[in-house]
Amino acid sequence: MDVAVHVGTLGAVMIYFWRDIWHMLRGLIRFTKGRRDPGAKLAAMVVLATLPVLAAGYFLNEYIGDEYRTVEVIGWTTLGFGFLLYLADKTGLTIRRVEHTTVVDAILIGLAQCLALIPGTSRSGITITAARFLGYERVDAARFSMLMSIPAILGAGALKGLELYQSGNAQLTNDALTAAGLSCIAALVAIAIMMAWLRKASFTPFFIYRIFLGSGLLYYAYYM
């Protein structure tokens, strides 16, 4: 169900960022014809940034499982990575755009994305944090983070989708499809609001949200 919700957000990302996706696809077509194209470079950076989490995700699914998906872990990661996002946003420069992405940038942001496999970290949050530390503008940090989600979620969705198909559980399949559809609608609204906000303001509201949520989860875990 967790992956199904992420697949729904993938649909929202592909709808909102369709121009970037078309730019990459067109660039790849031109590249196959021997032409250098910025769209092909962006596609290569997105794929490169995705490779670490695909390897880490396979290992986690194969050998570790969900024993760390607890309220305590989610509370601490929500709180801790919220502070890290605030620090990156306040100290990071705003001088770089997605078009400036280098191989080293892609690898570093991709390694940061592996931390999202820890429950409560937030895939978009940790990759935006890494991009802000590297000096990316707020909108471009969010943009690259969203584009990175496409191959990562496709990989996770394919893996869990195969498991779901092999289970033959019709009720769970229907529930997963419903969750994906609802999350797509919610994510599309959320992405549109977030991108509009970041054009004129900072990530501070997201930091405040994570502080309240993390503190509430920890209070529930230790005192309820």
Question: Per the structure block, which two tokens stand in for 184?
Answer: 């797509």
Give backbone dihedrals phi and psi of 200, rounded to 5 degrees, phi first. -135, -5
Q: What CA–CA distance (Å, rounded) separates 45 from 11?
A: 21
The C-alpha atoms of residue 146 and residue 195 are separated, in whole angstroms, by 11
Residue 53: which of 159, 138, 142 has the closest Cα? 159
Q: How far apart are CA 45 and CA 103, in angstroms?
A: 7
The percentage of residues in the chain with a pLDDT greater than 90, rounded to a whole number, is 66
CA distance 187 to 194: 10
Higher pLDDT, 160 or 20: 20
CA dihedral 32→45→111→78, nearest 10 degrees, is -130
What pLDDT score was predicted for residue 163?
78
- Domain range list for the chain: 2-67+93-203
Confidence (pLDDT) at 65: 59
For the entire predicted model, the pTM comes to 0.87
Euclidean distance between CA atoms 198 and 90, whole angstroms: 14
pLDDT at 2: 76
Determine the pLDDT at residue 55.
Answer: 82
